[in-house]
Amino acid sequence: MGAGGARDGSVPASHPSAGGSVGEGWLLLPWDAQSALGGTGEYWERRHAGVSCGFGDGGSTGLDVAESPLEAPARSPLAASVAGGRVAPTPKMMENKVFMSFTFYSTILILKMYVVAIVTGQVRLRKKAFANPEDALRNGGLQYYREDPDVERCRRAHRNDMENIFPFLFLGAIYSLLDPSPTVARIHFFIFCVGRIIHTIAYLLQLKAPMRSVAYSVAQLPCFSMALQILLATTPYW
C-alpha cells in the first residue's frame, strides 16, 4: 500500500472520516465504482500517485494506485476502468453472442432493403415512370406520370422484404433473449438471411420458377422455428 493508507484498516489523517476534507485531495467516487472494487460505505481515492485507496468505514480495497500493470492483481473491466479514473461498464447485451450474431445478420438484411430501394429509384429514372406528377414534369412531362412493369417488380420485391424482414427482426430479438445455443441460433439467422437474398435476386432478375418460391419457403422455416420456441418459453406466463 502507499503512504496514505494501511492494510490494517487505519485511516489517513487527511481522510474525511478522520477530520480531513475533500479539498485535501480525496475524491468521492459513485456507488457503482465502490461496488466494482468490492467495497462498502464511502469510498475515497487519493489523487496523488503512490497513495492507497481506502474505505470510509475502515476497510481497504487492497489496491495501490502506484502499482505497475505487472504488480497489480487481475481485475474486471469495470474495476480496471475505475482504477484508471473512469467508470465504463460493459453493456450486457454486447456480451450475448446470440444477440450479436442476430445484429450482424439483421444489419445485412436492412442494407439489402436499402439496395432494393436504390435500384427501384434507378429503374424509375431509366424507364421514365414516375409515381408523382412533379417528378414527371421535372423529367420530361406529365406523360411520364405512369406505371412501368419493371418498376412495379422492384416495388413488389421491396414490399415482400418489409412483410418478411420486419417480423424476423422482432422474432430474432426475442429469441436471442431465450439463451438458445449460439450455433443453432446462427443457423437460424444464416438460413433466413441467405433465403431473403436469393429471393430478392430471383425477383429482380426474373429467374425461372420456382427459384423465388423455394427461397421464400426456406427463409420462413427459421422464423416459424423461432416463433414456436418463443411461444413454448412464454406459455406459462399467459
**What would the pLDDT profile of 150-184 be if each residue is shown by its tens digit?**
999 999 999 999 999 999 999 999 999 999 999 99
**What would the pLDDT profile of 4-24 be if each residue is shown by its tens digit?**
444 444 445 444 444 544 444
Cell for 59? 476497510
| Phi, psi dihedral angles at 210 (to 5 degrees) | -105, 35
Q: Which residue pairs, CB below 8 angstroms and at least 24 apart, start in 225-228?
A: 225/188, 226/171, 226/172, 226/174, 226/175, 226/188, 227/171
The percent of residues above 70 in pLDDT, for the chain, comes to: 61
What pLDDT shows up at residue 92?
75
Between 51 and 142, residue with greater pLDDT: 142
pLDDT at position 48 over 90: no
The band of 31, judged by pLDDT with boundaries at 50, 70 and 90, is: very low
Average pLDDT value for the chain: 77
What pLDDT shows up at residue 94?
78
Contacts of 104 (CB under 8 A, 6+ apart): 189
CB 196 within 8 A of CB 164: yes
Residues recorded for the chain? 238
How far separated are the first and last CA of the chain, in Å rounded? 57
CB 188 within 8 A of CB 225: yes
What pLDDT shows up at residue 86?
54
pLDDT at position 95 over 90: no
β-pair type (60-64, 52-55): antiparallel
What pLDDT shows up at residue 79?
47
CB 204 within 8 A of CB 217: no
Contacts of 73 (CB under 8 A, 6+ apart): 62, 63
Strand partners, 27: 45
